Structure 1
């Protein structure tokens, strides 16, 4: 019984450690919607979206570089 009370106390007094962390989004300067993101490895990813937007990161998402895309054509998926 004491163990049950102790566990319940942990759930009520320390809920912050038990909950998942929220995801933080950073808005890209172009302000276009993104439709697909594909991670190639732990550090490299490619994102595509509205009006031919193509973005690539090689530092786990800290910075994104604009790649040459197809103007006025929405890109909705990535295939390799």
Structure 2
């Protein structure tokens, strides 16, 4: 959310433009504690901010050496350690 807020604050009117692109009121954006998962793609395309920077809690990268998957990876992946 920090990256998105920084982006919106860089230039006057960005919050209104993003809200219009999403079909919501600008005040709705102000109420978010996290970028809603269902809006990630649209917001990333509009702002140019990568998904993993908008929601690192969802798109955490596993280090190649650790063999760990993100905590929110599907259960089948966690069980097998492989992507489906």
Give the alignment's TM-score, normalised by structure 1: 0.21
Bigger Rg, structure 1 or 2: 1
Give the alignment's TM-score, normalised by structure 2: 0.21
Looking at secondary structure, tell me which structure has more strand per residue.
1
